[in-house]
């Protein structure tokens, strides 16, 4: 039977080496994480200028959009429409009308899934499939992406960023998909509106009814109306 004796000095050196390895690992991990750029979605535009941006997420509402466009045209307001690929494929002329009226077209993914449940690659495909539809129907679109349901986990943000897109959220939400009255929509927006607000809407009948009053109230407060890419430039 062999008995090995290790001196206290060797034990100390052994423990010191282990400690240095652990410290090196922690330092490297911290350094790597520190040097990786943080990707954040955009919730608000330029706060230095008294302006707001209307943004409409579109995956349905084809029966409302023509009247919505007419109101915006009469009021001389341009907005940003984030359109899903499947909607654009089904209603190409309607999407063309939106663009012809001077509005901005953004990307809303193709099939309107829950993006946080998808991988980076799957989210990238949602965006690029929509790009292809826009190209097929000859629509110029901006490099801005509004993820369905407002989901903006890391797989969503990384996918958009890798394709050169800015992920756009919102400052104020009308929650019009719940079919509130026009008065409720106005009360959700007007008391909280501020410089650079991104105001989220959908092509709903209640929104159509509320829109003229919303525009008038904002104009009475001297707000300008801008597209999303214009208001987030700074």
Tell me the domain boundaries of the chain: 1-36, 51-231
Contact 210, 54 (CB under 8 A): no
Residue range 174-187: mean pLDDT, rounded: 98
pLDDT digit string, tens, across residues 21-70: 665 554 545 444 445 568 999 999 999 999 999 999 999 999 999 999 99
Contact 181, 192 (CB under 8 A): no
DSSP, res 164? T
pLDDT value at residue 54: 98
Helix (H) or strand (E) holding 224: strand 224-225
Those residues whose C-beta lies under 8 Å from the C-beta of residue 59, and which sit 6 or more positions away, are 83, 84, 86, 87, 108, 112, 148
- Separation CA 234–CA 219 (nearest Å): 23
- What value does the mean pLDDT take over residues 118-142? 98
Q: Distance between terminal CA atoms of the chain?
A: 77
Domain 51-231 in CATH 3.40.630.30? The answer is no
pLDDT at 14 over 60: no
Per-residue tokens: 108: 């809303």
Q: pLDDT tens across 77-112, in order?
A: 999 999 999 999 999 999 999 999 999 999 999 999
Contacts of 208 (CB under 8 A, 6+ apart): 64, 67, 68, 71
């Amino acid at each position: 039977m062999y008995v090995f004796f290790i001196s206290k000095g060797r034990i100390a050196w052994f423990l010191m080496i282990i400690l240095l390895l652990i410290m090196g690992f922690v330092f490297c991990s911290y350094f790597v994480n520190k040097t990786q750029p943080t990707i954040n979605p955009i919730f608000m535009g330029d706060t230095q200028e008294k302006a707001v941006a209307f943004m409409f997420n579109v995956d349905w509402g084809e029966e409302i959009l023509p009247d919505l466009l007419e109101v915006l045209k009469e009021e001389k307001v341009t907005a940003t429409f984030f359109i899903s690929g499947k909607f654009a494929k089904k209603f190409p002329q309607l999407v063309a009308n939106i663009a012809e009226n001077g509005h901005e077209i953004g990307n809303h993914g193709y099939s309107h899934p829950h993006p946080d449940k998808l991988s980076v690659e799957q989210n990238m495909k949602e965006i690029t499939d929509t790009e292809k539809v826009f190209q097929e129907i000859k629509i110029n679109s901006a490099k801005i992406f509004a993820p369905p349901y407002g989901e903006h986990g890391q797989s969503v943000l990384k996918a958009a960023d890798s394709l050169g897109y800015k992920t756009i959220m919102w400052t104020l939400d009308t929650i019009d998909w719940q079919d509130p009255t026009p008065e409720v929509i106005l009360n959700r927006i007007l008391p909280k509106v501020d410089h650079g607000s991104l105001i989220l809407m959908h092509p709903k009948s209640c929104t159509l009814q509320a829109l003229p009053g919303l525009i008038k109230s904002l104009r009475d407060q001297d707000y300008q109306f801008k597209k999303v890419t214009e208001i987030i430039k700074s």
